[in-house]
Amino acid sequence: MFRTVERTPSGVRLLDQRKLPQAAVYITCKTPEETADAIRQMVVRGAPAIGVTAAFGIAVAASEAATLDPGALDRRIAEACELLAAARPTAVNLFWAIARMAEAAREFRAAGCGNAELAEALEREAQAIHDEDLAACRAIGRHGATLVPERATVLTHCNAGGLATAGYGTALGVIRGAIEAGKKVRVLADETRPLWQGARLTAWELMEDGIETVLITDGSAGGLMRGGQVDLVVVGADRIARNGDVANKIGTYSVAVLAKENGVPFYVAAPLSTVDLACPDGDRIPIEQRDRREVTEPFGTRIAPDGVGVLNPAFDVTPARYVAAIVTERGIARAPYEASLAALASGA
């Protein structure tokens, strides 16, 4: 079984997702700089996974700088937080995890901890973020399974699986949860251009688990829904605004509109660390624009003429009205999301 992200004695060990499905190769980031680079270059991706990765990157920084004087250690932690926060802009789990690590550092210092204790505390905090994410995914799977019919064809977009989390997955966690509950599930995986997370990652990890998977181009999803071949859609999220608007991989909005038009329920599965209650609606979520070559040069083959313009937004926003439910580790939120998400977040 693969490990998406883990702390090893030598650093933050990541499964290099750029190489999948041809090869399962691991790399180890020995500094927060290398960790930020790995996030930026999408060695690791998926909102929960990059949050966990950043937390480990800060723990690495603290452990390495523990021999310095306390002021220098604190500056190194602050620097690590800053450069990891600059790695990617859209997924809020990154900022959530960094803020949680920074807060832990402040608290332990305020409690009078020395460097060694502080570094150890940050290692524990990062591991807790990892372990809680895995537990959250399993809980999402249990809650989400109730939404899946006994026999279902489920369409998903991008990869919100074990590769996008500490393990088990959010959207794919719902699928795994349904199968563990004895349901028969077949998955339609959108390939998800430009980086093919559906083809390279979702199909790979589902087939590793022996789950029936059919790959389609992004443009095929609508026609299959119109043909009655999709029972439900479930996707992950990079950030959910207070009102239930969902930022997720580019193309998600299209899937949501097509689902609504065809009477197919569209579900979002995400841990509460993905919900940004400080963000009132989806239009305030910063959307990352990525390199034009992701579109014009897939795998180094130039497919478009020189000089053509390119727009390559990595994410889009699906307004809450298209979302039938949001599955979290504490239960299922329904519209109106402003109330239901706030209640789940507060543990009410």
The structure tokens listed for 15 are 């499964």
Quick one: 127 or 312, whose CB is closer to its own copies?
312
Quick one: 93 or 153, whose CB is closer to its own copies?
153
Which H/E stretch holds residue 184?
A: strand 184-190
Q: How far is the CB of 194 from its own copies (least distance, A)?
A: 5
Which H/E stretch holds residue 117?
A: helix 115-145
**Could you say which of 133, 238, 276, 316 is catalytic?**
238
Question: Would you say 214 and 188 are in contact if contact means Cβ atoms under 8 Å apart?
Answer: yes
* CB-based burial label for 110 (10 Å; 0-12, 13-18, 19+): exposed
- What is the SS3 assignment for 280? coil
Quick one: 138 or 292, whose CB is closer to its own copies?
292
Q: How far is the CB of 70 from its own copies (least distance, A)?
A: 47
Q: How far is the CB of 131 from its own copies (least distance, A)?
A: 29
Nearest-Å Rg of the Cα atoms of the chain is 20
Q: Is 238 a catalytic residue?
A: yes
* CB-based burial label for 173 (10 Å; 0-12, 13-18, 19+): buried
Quick one: 271 or 282, whose CB is closer to its own copies?
282
Q: How far is the CB of 51 from its own copies (least distance, A)?
A: 24
* Site of interaction with its own copies (CB under 8 A): 21-22, 157, 188, 190-194, 196, 199-200, 203-204, 207, 212-224, 226, 249-254, 257-258, 261, 295-296, 298-299, 301-305, 307-313, 316-317
**Could you tell me which residues come within 8 angstroms of residue 154 by beta carbon, excluding any fewer than 6 positions away?**
148, 174, 175, 178, 185, 186, 187, 188, 230, 231, 232, 233, 234
Query: Which residues have a catalytic role annotated?
Result: 238
